[in-house]
Amino acid sequence: MALNPCQPLSGDGLTEMARVNRLDAARMFMSAGNGHFGSCYSCTEIITALYFSIMRIDAANPDWPDRDRFIMGKGHAAPTLYSALIRRGFMPEEWMDQYEKAVGVRLMTHPSRRYQPGVDVSQGSLGHGLSIGVGMALAGKLDWRNYNVYVLMGDGETNEGSVWEAAASASKFGLRNLVGIIDSNGLCVDGNLADVMPMEPMAAKWQAFGWDVSRLDGHDLPALLSALAPDRESTTGKPRMIIADTIKGKGVSFMENVRSWHADSISAEQYSRLVAELEERVA
């Protein structure tokens, strides 16, 4: 199958692309010697659904004014984004093998608009993404443009007060063109989110802040497509929040829900096992 699709994918095509995305991310981590495996693998389906089906973007025209925007609030999961951008044709495949290799390479730990065509916003400090998204969505309304702004956040990230400032603001401005997605994998640096700073009941909080909320399995591609479908004709005027229940490290048996894979180095032997598992899925 073509690895640089321009037509939206669905069904098997999307599933295959998610698999490719995981392999790409692992390839980048191998190149660097380490990475945020867990964080990348929990949002693979979300990114795949956005970049290969939902978002209106043009690789030949990364600054196309009417493009849908994407903000990777959880910047440390950058390789998942890089793979999608590469496979969509925004960046060349060779850059993958340079990931974090040396100073001056194009792909590093956090996304950077300066160096990476297709990246809308540089990220790294958690809690900024939604605020920036509010600004972009406001601009879209002011300019009478029809684009959507998608912001992917980590569940731990929603501890940050700045997220709630943005939440209140999005509701006040009636930003229907703003879609937030929370990669709810239940884990953060210091442990289970429930022990560190629990966010449940999550849906009730976002609803109280004036958002339309849906909750789904973040690895269920058809469900994601349905929830993320553009709603350009809606009149409710409410921003949308999709709470995606995910598994940190999903897709690789020895990484799933293991906290230390938030960020870790990988041995050659582990890499082989990972590749073998992912390739087995083709059958």
Partner 1 sequence: MSRPRMKTSAMIASIAAEGQRTVSAPFGHTLVRLAADRPEIVGMTADLGKYTDLHVFSAVYPDRFYQMGMAEQLLFGAAAGMAREGFMPFATTYAVFASRRAYDFIYMAIAEDQLNVKIVCALPGLTTGYGPSHQATEDLAIFRGVPNLTIVDPCDALEIEQATEAITEHAGPVYMRLLRGNVPLVLDEYSYKFELGKAKLIRDGSDVVFISSGLMTMRTLEAAEFLKADHIDAGVLHVSTIKPLDEVALLAEIRKPGRLIVIVENHNLIGGLGEAVMASSMRNGVMGRIRHIGLPDAFLDAGALPTLHDRYGISTNCLVSQVKAWL
Partner 2 sequence: MPHTQRSNLVPEISELRRRATNIREFALRMGAVQGQGYIGQALGIADVLAVAYFGSMRYRSQEPKWEGRDRFLLSIGHYAIALYGALIEANFIPHEELETYGSDNSRLPMSGMAHYTPGMEITGGSLGHGLPIAVGMCLGLKRKKSNAFVYTLLSDGELNEGATWEAALSGAHWKLNNLIAIVDVNNQQADGPSSQILGFEPLMDKWRAFGWWVERVDGNEIESVFAAFEKARELEVPQPRIIICDTLMGKGVSFLEKREKLHFIRVEQHEWNEALNALRAEVTV
Residues near partner 2, by CB under 8 A = 159-165, 168-169, 171-172, 197-199, 201, 204-205, 207-210
Residue 190 sits in the site that holds partner 1 (CB under 8 A):
yes
**Segment near partner 1 (CB under 8 A); pick from 10-18, 96-104, 228-236, 239-247:** 96-104
Evaluate whether 95 touches 65 at the Cβ level (below 8 Å). no
Residue 279's CB is within 10 A of a number of other CB atoms, namely 11
Residue choice 34, 61, 234, 253 for contact with partner 1 (CB under 8 A): 34
Evaluate whether 162 touches 82 at the Cβ level (below 8 Å). no
DSSP conformation class of 51: I
Residue choice 40, 91, 126, 221 for contact with partner 1 (CB under 8 A): 126
The entry of partner 2, partner 1, none near residue 123 (CB within 5 to 8 angstroms by kind) is partner 1
Evaluate whether 278 touches 23 at the Cβ level (below 8 Å). yes
Binding mask 74-93 for partner 1 (x = CB under 8 A): -x------------------
* 83 backbone dihedrals φ, ψ, rounded to 5°: -60, -45
- Long-range contacts, 250-254 (Cβ 8 Å, 24+): 250/41, 250/42, 250/44, 250/219, 251/18, 251/19, 251/22, 251/41, 251/44, 251/277, 251/278, 252/22, 252/37, 252/41, 252/277, 252/278, 253/277
The entry of partner 2, partner 1, none near residue 189 (CB within 5 to 8 angstroms by kind) is partner 1
Q: What's the min distance (Å) between Cβ of 142 and partner 2?
A: 18
Which of 27/205 has CB closer to partner 2?
205
Among positions 213-272, residues that touch partner 1 (CB under 8 A) are: 263, 265-269
Q: What's the min distance (Å) between Cβ of 191 and partner 1?
A: 8
* 47 backbone dihedrals φ, ψ, rounded to 5°: -65, -40
**Segment near partner 1 (CB under 8 A); pick from 46-54, 63-71, 101-109, 244-252:** 101-109
The number of CA neighbours under 13 Å toward the Cβ of 169 is 16
Pairwise CA distance, residues 213 & 215, whole Å? 7
Q: What's the min distance (Å) between Cβ of 196 and partner 2?
A: 9
Residue 275 sits in the site that holds partner 1 (CB under 8 A):
no
Q: What's the min distance (Å) between Cβ of 164 and partner 2?
A: 4
Q: What's the min distance (Å) between Cβ of 134 and partner 2?
A: 11
Pairwise CA distance, residues 256 & 42, whole Å? 9
The entry of partner 1, partner 2, none near residue 210 (CB within 5 to 8 angstroms by kind) is partner 2
Show the tokens assigned to 200: 């449940």
Q: What is the DSSP string of 232-275?
A: TT--S---EEEEEE--TTTTSTTTTT-GGGGSEE--HHHHHHHH
* 144 backbone dihedrals φ, ψ, rounded to 5°: 55, 40
**Segment near partner 1 (CB under 8 A); pick from 2-10, 120-128, 205-213, 273-281:** 120-128
Provide the binding-site residues for partner 1, judged by CB under 8 A. Answer: 32-34, 75, 100, 102-105, 108-110, 112, 123-127, 156-157, 159-161, 188-191, 195-197, 263, 265-269
